[in-house]
Amino acid sequence: MIDPDGFRPNVGIVLARNDGQVFWARRAGQDGWQFPQGGMNTDETPTEAMYRELAEETGLLPEHVRMLGSTPGWLRYRLPRRYRRRHQKPLCVGQKQVWFLLELVASEQCIRLDHTDSPEFDTYRWVDFWYPARHVIPFKRRVYVRALQHLEPLLPSSMISD
């Protein structure tokens, strides 16, 4: 599903532990790291897509997390030309995303990267809240910064480290 401006609707997920560290995962078979994210189906709301993607990419279910909030609308990024699929119609020029902040309330042992037949990630680690904004692939950096700026005020004070 591509909107009239060429953007694919998508959701992004910032999953935080009770110490404020966030889930940072490596794409399977690659050396790129990112937050969980994924495209929306035509019949899904952003929240429904977020829970589906969360389960597909981490094995976590709604009862394993607490939603702390989301961005107020779409955040967009453009794909560099070399990443665009030129022979696909309609042409996707980038993604528009609603970002969600979740707190892990279950044991970390509930995380299952091998939950599906074709896992998105092959490993993960917990990093400081702002670490991903400095280490994501450059074309996503601005949207990561904007998402984290929106979501940081939603962190409970008990999760903010000094």
* pTM score: 0.92
Mean pLDDT of 16-28: 96
Q: Is the pLDDT of residue 51 over 60?
A: yes
Q: 25 near 124, Cβ under 8 Å?
A: yes
- What's residue 13's pLDDT? 98
Q: Give tens-digit pLDDT for 66-104.
A: 999 999 999 998 887 666 666 666 678 889 999 999 999
Cα–Cα distance for residue pair 153/159, rounded to 1 Å: 11
Cα–Cα distance for residue pair 145/159, rounded to 1 Å: 19
Selected residue with higher pLDDT from 82 and 47: 47
The mean of the pLDDT values for the chain is 92
Q: Give tens-digit pLDDT for 111-140.
A: 999 988 999 999 999 999 999 999 999 999
Q: Is the pLDDT of residue 40 over 60?
A: yes
What domains are defined for the chain?
7-156 (3.90.79.10)
Phi, psi (deg, nearest 5) at residue 130: -90, -5
Fill in the amino acid letter for 4.
P
Helices (H), the chain: 46-58, 131-135, 141-151
Task: Please report which confidence band the pLDDT of residue 160 belongs to, taking 50, 70 and 90 as the band edges.
Answer: confident
Cα–Cα distance for residue pair 92/23, rounded to 1 Å: 28
